A and B are shown apart, each in its own frame.
Chain A
Amino acid sequence: MRILKLNKSDLFTFLGAISKQTELWAPLKKDVKYVFERVSDISKIELQTTRTIIPPKKIMVPPSFNMFHFNASDYQEDFSHITKKILFGIHPCDIHGLLILDKLFTQEYPDPYYLEARKNTLILGLSCWPDEHCFCQSTRTNIVEEGYDLFFTDLQGYFLVWIGSSQGDDLVRMIPGIFDECLLDKDIQAYIRWQSEKEKAFKTEIDFITMPDLMELKYRAPFWNKAGDACLACGSCSMVCPTCNCYNVSDKLFLGNRPGERSRFWDSCTLPEYSQVGSGENFREHKSDRLKLWYTHKLQAYVSKFGKPSCVGCGRCIATCPVNINVKTIAKALEGEDVEAFWQRMNQEVAP
């Protein structure tokens, strides 16, 4: 792999140059949180962010988009929501999130909408520093080896720039002279130091190795009912999860000659009607049944198919769930900890 150096002061010059022709998306500040947005003012890009509210999956599969235009006799594909984009500032966990979505959306029947958006998006990763909710070390998604075109490791004053693809290589050649090919021993030492300090900075740890077995062994454990009772069935966990891929489809008609639309929009298995069939039968009536499905998929099912959990340790469910149902508390409950104190955030913070 080609690894270069870039002075911190040259980053915005570089991003400015490569975004002349192509939309640049990056983390921007929104109130006290961060969001991936299209950048109009490069100086507004946030480099020291933790997680964004919604992961970058929203760029590959927008929350709602049109799949087909239809008239009386035909369905025409609609890819108009897809534009060429450069995505800067994606952390390792979110790169892994996209790698997991790659598997889900391409297995057996490749999803042309996802693939087209993926093909049109360049991924410029950025290193980060864990906060109290991050646990990517536990999911082994703290390091990326693939899934990016460029990756920037922030080493105080300069970046190590890892080139992960041919398109990434084209980008660094757009402005000659600002990238330094000469990696010194002290740079390598600085990188190793940074890496080992980061390893020590994690405050949340989850043992994912035991999770598939515990999901099986504790499938009927009473704590699921408690979690189910506390769950608001709001679907927020799915919206913010980098690997939640479920969606719903609905047809829209318009007055006049405008063709109809078949739109596809995010769905969540925690919502009440998720498993309801035409006859009215609901296969997962109770919230605990739906939570079990959510966690079966994160902690167990993906492991049996692809050998690792479909959780990337981004901490978004921890930061988001209003009642503290998240990978951390469910894992603790599975491990046998007393759950009484877990699902109380709603009482303590939101509605004291």
Chain B
Amino acid sequence: MNAANKPIDQTNPFRPEPARIVRTYYLTDDVKFFQVRLVDMEKALSFKYKAGQFAMVSVLGTGEAPFCLSSTPSRPGLLEFCIRKIGSVTNALFQLKENALIGLRGPYGNGFPVDDMRGKDVIIVVGGLGVAPLRSVLLYCLDNRDQFGKISVLHGAKKPSEMIFRDEYFSLKERGDLDCHLAVDKDDTGAWQENIGVVTTLFPHLKNVDAENTFSLVCGPPVMYKFVIKELLKLNIPKNQILMTLERRMKCGVGKCGHCAIDYIYTCLDGPVFTYWDVLHMRELI
């Protein structure tokens, strides 16, 4: 457990803390953005977390599920989630309006090793909903821009309307201090001005990569990893500097319910961020 990031309720780690949906809107047809604030103002401001950590979100009467935090710890107070409608909890979440109460507990998991990444170059490779955890670390790096080297973002989506945070990325492209490339597999609108093709077709845009001094962060659909990792290895990025964040079923988030167990570790305690070396070393990771 990260000492700085104590759970909200330290006597009962399972007790959700009341939180309010401050803002919610559709990002795509089936993905919604949620901005949430703990009702207790003091707890809202003292909620400390790391990019890449996750929280357990409860919808009264429906249940609880893990969601990665999409907001950056460098902007405390409001927590943000980027959620796809896929099961019972998310279906119930989608029906909630602004000002509705939910339950929240966390933060859990290891998060990205931002301290090790300081001073290094960062390549972020996003596929589809993989943007949810990577947005947190990207915004964190940008909020502390002088602490990191070159920042490159490769973002792929199926089609323009499915590019999550599309507008946010368009404005990031305007910034001069990062290298951002967007791609869609297929443009059904005819209006797409960026690249067309899968995310790996963006790799030629990466120029003069200083592999030893680069951390690469990857998150996307399972099918994406194999191809992206191949490209990263071609660039000679060390295996233990290729980071990915994984999804598992979880019922507790605190290493008790067993569902996220892989080998001798729990994804909720020792993950969800793993290196490519972990993947090679441990069975069943991908």
Which A residues fall within an 8 A CB radius of B?
67-68, 70, 72-75, 77, 104-105, 107-113, 219, 245-251, 253, 260, 262, 267, 269, 274-279, 281, 283-284, 289, 293, 296-297, 300-302, 304-305
List, in ascending order, chain B residues with CB within 8 A of A253's CB: 61
A70 to B, closest residue via Cβ: B60
Q: Does B4 belong to the interface (CB within 8 Å)?
A: no
List, in ascending order, chain B residues with CB within 8 A of A68's CB: 14-15
B256 touches A104 (CB 8 A): yes
Q: Does B18 belong to the interface (CB within 8 Å)?
A: yes
List, in ascending order, chain B residues with CB within 8 A of A113's CB: 14
Q: Which of B18, B248, B256 contacts A73 (CB 8 A)?
A: B18
A77 to B15, CA, bound (A): 7
A250 to B, closest residue via Cβ: B63
Q: Does B80 belong to the interface (CB within 8 Å)?
A: no
A249 to B, closest residue via Cβ: B251
A129 to B263, CA, bound (A): 35
A142 to B87, CA, bound (A): 47
Contact with A along B34-45 (1 / 0, CB 8 A): 000000000000
A109 touches B258 (CB 8 A): no
What's the nearest-Cβ distance from chain A to residue B262, in Å?
8
B255 touches A109 (CB 8 A): yes
A267 touches B258 (CB 8 A): yes
A304 to B, closest residue via Cβ: B264
Interface centre among A77, A247, A251 (most CB of B within 10 A): A251
List, in ascending order, chain B residues with CB within 8 A of A262's CB: 64
A245 touches B258 (CB 8 A): yes
Which B residues fall within an 8 A CB radius of A?
1, 7, 11-16, 18, 58, 60-65, 84, 86-87, 89-90, 101, 103, 222, 247-249, 251-252, 254-259, 261, 263-264, 269, 283-284
List, in ascending order, chain B residues with CB within 8 A of A77's CB: 12, 15
Closest 3 CB pairs of A and B: A246-B258, A301-B264, A109-B254
Overall SS of chain A's interface: mixed
B7 touches A269 (CB 8 A): no
List, in ascending order, chain A residues with CB within 8 A of B86's CB: 278-279
A to B CB contacts below 8 Å, 5 in the list? A68-B15, A109-B254, A112-B11, A267-B257, A274-B249
A105 to B86, CA, bound (A): 31
What's the nearest-Cβ distance from chain B to residue A102, in Å?
13
A220 to B, closest residue via Cβ: B283
What's the nearest-Cβ distance from chain A to residue B147, in Å?
29
B261 touches A251 (CB 8 A): no
Given A260-B60, A260-B61, A275-B248: A246 touches B12 (CB 8 Å cut-off): no
List, in ascending order, chain A residues with CB within 8 A of B1's CB: 108-109
What's the nearest-Cβ distance from chain A to residue B240, in Å?
20
B83 to A, closest residue via Cβ: A278
A73 to B17, CA, bound (A): 9
Q: Which of A112, A245, A251 contacts B63 (CB 8 A)?
A: A251
B15 touches A75 (CB 8 A): yes
A253 to B, closest residue via Cβ: B61
B259 touches A267 (CB 8 A): yes
What's the nearest-Cβ distance from chain A to residue B90, in Å?
7
B65 touches A105 (CB 8 A): no
Q: Which of A267, A276, A278, A305 contacts B65 (CB 8 A)?
A: A278
List, in ascending order, chain B residues with CB within 8 A of A275's CB: 248-249, 259
A250 to B257, CA, bound (A): 12
B263 touches A249 (CB 8 A): no
A22 to B197, CA, bound (A): 71
A248 touches B61 (CB 8 A): no
A305 to B269, CA, bound (A): 14
